[in-house]
């Protein structure tokens, strides 16, 4: 196992965490070609269940109607 030589300074630690938060806030968002809803790339659309031009997941329609 790798063991650290020195304790990391709080500034270094905090700047790393700040970078991580930025990547979460500005996550890549694409749009579904079927319904146009925003969705993550390479993920099934949560709205209509489409992926790669076909329906792959059945989405509960009752939840949307409420
Ligand atoms: Zn969709």
* pLDDT value of residue 63: 56
- For the chain, give me the number of helices (H) and strands (E)? 2, 4
Q: Is the pTM of this model over 0.75?
A: no
Determine the distance separating the centroid of ligand 1 and the alpha carbon of 24, expressed in angstroms: 22
Q: Quick check: 5 pLDDT over 90?
A: yes
Distances (CA, A) of 5 to 2, 8, 17, 26: 10, 9, 21, 33
15-55 per-position pLDDT tens digit: 888 888 777 778 788 888 888 889 988 989 988 888 988 88
Query: Predicted confidence band at 62 (pLDDT cuts at 50, 70, 90)?
Result: low
User: Does residue 58 or residue 9 have the better pLDDT?
Assistant: 9
For ion ligand 1, residues whose CB falls within 5 Å: 32, 34-35, 37, 45, 47-48, 50
**Dist. CA 29 → ligand 1 center (Å):** 13
């Amino acid at each position: 196992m790798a063991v650290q030589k020195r304790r990391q300074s709080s500034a270094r630690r905090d700047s790393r965490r700040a970078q991580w938060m930025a990547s979460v806030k500005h996550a890549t968002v694409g749009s579904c070609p079927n319904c146009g809803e925003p969705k993550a790339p390479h993920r099934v659309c949560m709205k209509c269940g489409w992926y790669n031009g076909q329906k792959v997941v059945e989405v509960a329609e009752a939840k949307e109607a409420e």
